[in-house]
């Protein structure tokens, strides 16, 4: 993981912290990754960012039954990581 990846992950975690428990859909989360990068990301780069967050357990999914969507939100571990990035 290079400095750009760390920058993108930090921006995504910051957005999720601001949104709170409601979370974001995966596509919206990855759109924020592109905005943070300042350049369009390839599908591979978008997926790598998402997998990194998920694999490190910085984000967790939950299903919203009313709107029938899987949403991702920040975990305690992600909060700790955000402070140390």
Task: Give the domain range for residue 46.
Answer: 3-84
Mean pLDDT in residue range 52-80: 92
- Look at residue 80 in the predicted model and tell me its pLDDT: 94
Concatenate the DSSP letters of all residues of 27-49 into one string: HHHHHHHHHHHTSPPPHHHHHHH
The CATH number of whichever domain residue 24 belongs to comes to 1.10.10.10
3-class SS of residue 70: strand
The rounded distance, in Å, linking the Cα atoms of 48 and 54 is 10
Residue 40 has pLDDT above 80, yes or no: yes
Q: Report the chain's mean pLDDT, rounded to a whole number.
A: 88
Q: Please give the pLDDT value at position 41.
A: 85
- pLDDT of the residue at 20: 85
DSSP state letter for 24: B
Residue 47 neighbours by CB distance under 10 Å = 14
Residue 65: what pLDDT? 85
**How many domains are there within the chain?**
1
Q: Which pLDDT belongs to residue 54?
A: 95
Predicted TM-score of the model (pTM):
0.84
């Amino acid at each position: 993981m290079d400095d750009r990846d760390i920058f993108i992950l930090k921006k995504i975690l910051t957005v999720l912290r601001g949104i709170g428990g409601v979370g974001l859909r995966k596509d919206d989360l990855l759109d924020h990754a592109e905005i943070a990068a300042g350049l369009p990301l390839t599908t591979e780069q978008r997926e790598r960012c998402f997998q990194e967050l998920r694999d490190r357990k910085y984000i967790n999914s939950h299903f919203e039954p009313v709107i029938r969507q899987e949403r991702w939100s920040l975990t305690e571990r992600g909060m700790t990581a955000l402070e140390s990035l």
